[in-house]
Amino acid sequence: MNYDELKILIAERGIETIDIKYADLIGNWYHISFPARRLEHVLQHGIPFDGSSIPGMKSVESGDMVLLPDVSTAIIDP
């Protein structure tokens, strides 16, 4: 799926919230949700988060990280 297809899917299905799932280095799952209307901004700038709160990531001093979604992995999660 590409960005244009995802935009169409969001409009057709009336999707209001997008949930991004990601894992730490030992396999624990995490997620961040955001309004679907912010998709373009998120794809351009990513979602900043504190990597020091994720096991195996960064120290507090250098913990600022950015999630960059991959639209080719998008699915509808009932």
Q: What is the pTM of this model?
A: 0.80
72: left (phi over 0), alpha (psi -120 to 50) or beta: alpha
Q: Which CATH number fits domain 3-70: 3.20.190.10, 3.10.20.70, 3.10.20.90, 1.10.1200.10?
A: 3.10.20.70
> What does the alpha-carbon distance between residue 39 and residue 1 come to, in Å, rounded to a whole number?
14
CA end-to-end span of the chain: 18
pLDDT at 13 over 60: yes
Query: Per-residue pLDDT tens for 45-71?
Result: 999 887 777 776 656 565 688 899 999
Boundaries of every domain in the chain: 3-70
Residue with tokens 């009336």: 14
Contact 28, 22 (CB under 8 A): no
Pairing outcome for strands 29-35 and 17-23: antiparallel
